[in-house]
Chain A
């Protein structure tokens, strides 16, 4: 079997070892009300149940293409997105369902998109890998490894250009760090002090290739070559994700400084559902993570201990999340597909806004 991934431990981890309550007691977490904590926990559960429900539909062939599930990584997106203010924006790759739910997109539209229906968040034109909702400052949903990172850098550029106090979070997997576009983005962001946090969701595997077989050196530390701040942390604990990310988000908003944050996480399923997940890691490794670091169990236990959650509440949250996922699937199933006439809509702004067209000539060809 392959070697397990090795992820850098840094000063954040050293500080955490010295003071286990460090993240829980960070002001950004201290200020959370019980209701807010419950909502964060609810989002984690909603993502899990949505993903499980979409998997069932996929296996029944109601969903086509690829399906990259976020199961195991939920607390990471929830923690990061919970910090977003009105001028903060995010962009991610193709494992994009968790972020979409975390920013507040309607799961019915998300499921309908998977089903390829006109009621989907992208009218059935994008599919699983291409969720978008600019009204939630969510800019996708991108299919090419690393290709979204220059765009995230551009979001930060636009924030700065417009003089807004905001930041962009550009999420990528650990496999994306070797793309040239990522390094070019690092350089641009550092060179021009753009308010972007490059978030490496390190789940240990770029598809079926472990980190040790795909990347030289430490991932986040590459930021040093660009004189950019960096750190690493664990992604299963809401408090830790929030307190670490908040530090860099505040710095980005206030001082317009970029950073690289590597967040250790794990996916329980294959790279996509099409990945049999039998050749590159053993079951024991998955079970070990589930047993010790599962985002639902971990945060549930933490909130139970604090008296924020009760067993009854846990049950009702879970039941609600399952019902929501089922309702989303029902909605998707009942929705119509786009028509042939829809194929050439949403291609050109001018075609969709014919009264404002200024160009002439033919735009489509046979």
Chain B
């Protein structure tokens, strides 16, 4: 099976969907002539031309809103946010228009838009460029939120996202763009809302997603090697819809839970998970649910300190030991 990068996997997904559906169009800052700020859209302009690969001004409220409007009339825009951090500039459009228009129209209008781009810390770009808004986005019924961790997942989920008839917010990670993994040549889709057990284990369930899933896998290796603790790593992949059944099944096998997320802890994805697990699997728990999140402060610039603000294998290891104690 070919081994390609996360970035290439995304590009293949975009290219295949551009080939499949003439209504798919890519818009965003620097996506065309510059080949993408993070090169996800590299070569697409040459292949598909300026009608379908479109450079926008720095004008998020305008172009995101425009994409939402175009999607209402049947275009299927895949909008790139150079950073998801810029979502707040377009938040009125995202919240009041994308998330609500189907409901407020009594189901008459669909909004099949995808907004994608990186949402992560770890690159020392400071507080304004390091937001991880998956919890904020997922708080709004009507939207879907996807956070892939591997090249295989990134491709299969992006293709499903583009075909979905509701707004899908697709949160990538600049720290993962260069990661490599096996991706089949033949076409495949991964349904939104299906978690993936990235590592099986018996002593502890680590519930996680995005880059934190990769960090958790590294921590699980250390747990096995140094402490003889068998940790299962459940990668949610999709925040909304949420595959809570896979989470609960894992909890019923291990009876211990650690949630790991690159999120500020208050009202995070993990908060919702912890509530649901205690509500639906209370008797399966042998101890309180633990959580490792981003240290609760705006993203620090200082490179060595930022590593410690985010989940990392050592922090996860420590939290896992506390969770099984």
Identify the closest chain A residue to B101 (Cβ). Answer: A140
Contact B66 A153 (CB under 8 A): yes
CA distance A358 to B112 in the complex (A): 14
A109 to B232, CA, bound (A): 54
Which among A158, A347, A360 is the interface contact of B73 at CB below 8 angstroms? A158
Q: How far is the CB of B299 from chain A (nearest CB, A)?
A: 25
A-contact 0/1 string along B39-80, CB 8 Å cutoff? 000000000000100001101011111111111111100000
**26 A-B pairs with C-beta separation under 8 A:** A89-B73, A130-B104, A132-B109, A134-B105, A141-B105, A151-B68, A153-B65, A154-B69, A155-B72, A158-B70, A158-B75, A181-B62, A181-B93, A183-B62, A346-B103, A348-B144, A358-B160, A358-B163, A358-B192, A359-B238, A360-B192, A361-B244, A361-B245, A362-B241, A362-B244, A365-B276
Q: Are A187 and B62 in contact (CB under 8 A)?
A: yes
A365 adjacent to B272 (CB under 8 Å): yes
Asked, given contacts A150-B62, A161-B75, whether A132 binds B96 with beta carbons under 8 Å apart, the answer is no
**Smallest CB separation, B18 vs chain A (Å):** 14
Q: Nearest A residue to B239 by beta-carbon distance?
A: A361
Query: Are A184 and B25 closer than 8 Å at their CB atoms?
Result: no
Which A residues fall within an 8 A CB radius of B?
89, 91, 120-126, 130, 132-135, 139-144, 147, 149-155, 157-159, 161-162, 180-181, 183-185, 187-188, 191, 344-350, 352, 358-366
A366 neighbours in B (Cβ, 8 Å): 279
B193: CB under 8 A from chain A?
Answer: yes
B166–A348 contact, CB under 8 A?
yes
- Contact A361/B66 with A123-B107, A346-B103, A346-B107 known, Cβ cut-off 8 Å: no
Q: Which of A144, A149, A180, A345 contacts B107 (CB 8 A)?
A: A345
User: Is B281 an interface residue when CB atoms closer than 8 A count as contact?
Assistant: no
Of A122, A133, A158, A159, the contact of B104 (CB 8 Å cutoff): A122
A134 to chain B, nearest CB (A): 5
Query: Given A362-B242, A363-B193, A150 and B108 touching (CB < 8 A)?
Result: no
Indicate whether A364 sits within 8 Å of B141 (C-beta atoms), given known contacts A126-B104, A140-B104, A150-B69: yes
- The answer to the question of B203 belonging to the interface, with a C-beta cut-off of 8 Å to chain A, is no
Q: How far is the CA of A301 from the CA of B105 in the complex (A)?
A: 38
A147-B97 contact given A123-B106, A349-B165, CB 8 Å threshold: yes
Q: A184-B63, A362-B193 are in contact. List 14 more A-B contacts (CB 8 A).
A: A153-B66, A159-B73, A181-B93, A183-B62, A349-B110, A349-B166, A358-B164, A359-B144, A359-B194, A360-B192, A361-B243, A362-B241, A363-B141, A365-B272
CB distance from A68 to the nearest CB of B (A): 16
Separation of A133 and B40 alpha carbons in the complex (Å)? 38
Q: State A123–B65 Cα separation when bound (angstroms).
A: 25
On chain B, the residues within 8 Å of A124 by CB distance are 106
What residues of A have a CB within 8 angstroms of the CB of B272 in the complex? 365
| Residue B142 interfacial (CB < 8 Å) | yes
Q: Is B7 an interface residue (CB 8 A)?
A: no
B106 near A120 with CB under 8 A, answer yes
Beta-carbon contact of B193 and A151 below 8 Å: no
Interface centre among B59, B66, B279 (most CB of A within 10 A): B66
A347, B167: Cα distance in complex, Å:
11
Inter-chain CA distance A219–B106, complex, in Å, is: 35
**Residues A147 and B59 in contact, CB atoms below 8 Å apart:** no
**Shortest Cβ distance from A149 into B: residue:** B65
- Is B238 in contact with A154, judged by CB distance below 8 angstroms? no
For A361, give its contact among B62, B93, B105, B195 (CB under 8 Å): B195
CB distance from A364 to the nearest CB of B (A): 7
Bound CA–CA A348/B165 (angstroms) = 8
Q: Which of B72, B195, B245 has the most CB of A within 10 A?
A: B72
CA distance A157 to B243 in the complex (A): 36
Q: Is B265 an interface residue (CB 8 A)?
A: no
Q: Taking the nearest CB of chain B, how far is it from the CB of A164, in angstroms? A: 10
Q: Does B92 contact A (CB under 8 A)?
A: yes
Q: A residues within 8 A CB of B129?
A: none
Interface centre among A150, A180, A344 (most CB of B within 10 A): A150
Residues of A near B181 (CB, < 8 A) are none
Partner of B108, one of A134, A154, A348: A134
Residues on the B chain within 8 Å of A141, using CB: 104-105
CA distance A44 to B164 in the complex (A): 41
A154–B56 alpha-carbon span in the complex (Å):
13
A356, B241: Cα distance in complex, Å: 15
User: Which residue of the partner chain A has the closest CB to B93?
Assistant: A150
B97, A151: Cβ atoms closer than 8 Å = yes
Assembled-state Cα–Cα distance A280/B107 (Å): 39
B:153-194 near A, CB below 8 Å: 160, 163-166, 189, 191-194
Q: How far is the CA of A347 from the CA of B108 in the complex (A)?
A: 11
- A154 B104 Cβ-Cβ under 8 A: no
Considering only residues 79-135 of chain B, those with a C-beta below 8 Å from chain A are 92-93, 96-97, 101-110
Please determine whether B107 and A151 come into contact, CB atoms closer than 8 angstroms.
no
Which 4 pairs show the lowest CB-CB distances between chains A and B? A154-B69, A150-B65, A184-B62, A361-B193
Check B191–A359 contact: CB distance below 8 A. yes
Min C-beta distance of A79 to chain B, whole Å: 24
B240, CB-defined interface residue at 8 Å: yes
Q: How far is the CB of B199 from chain A (nearest CB, A)?
A: 20
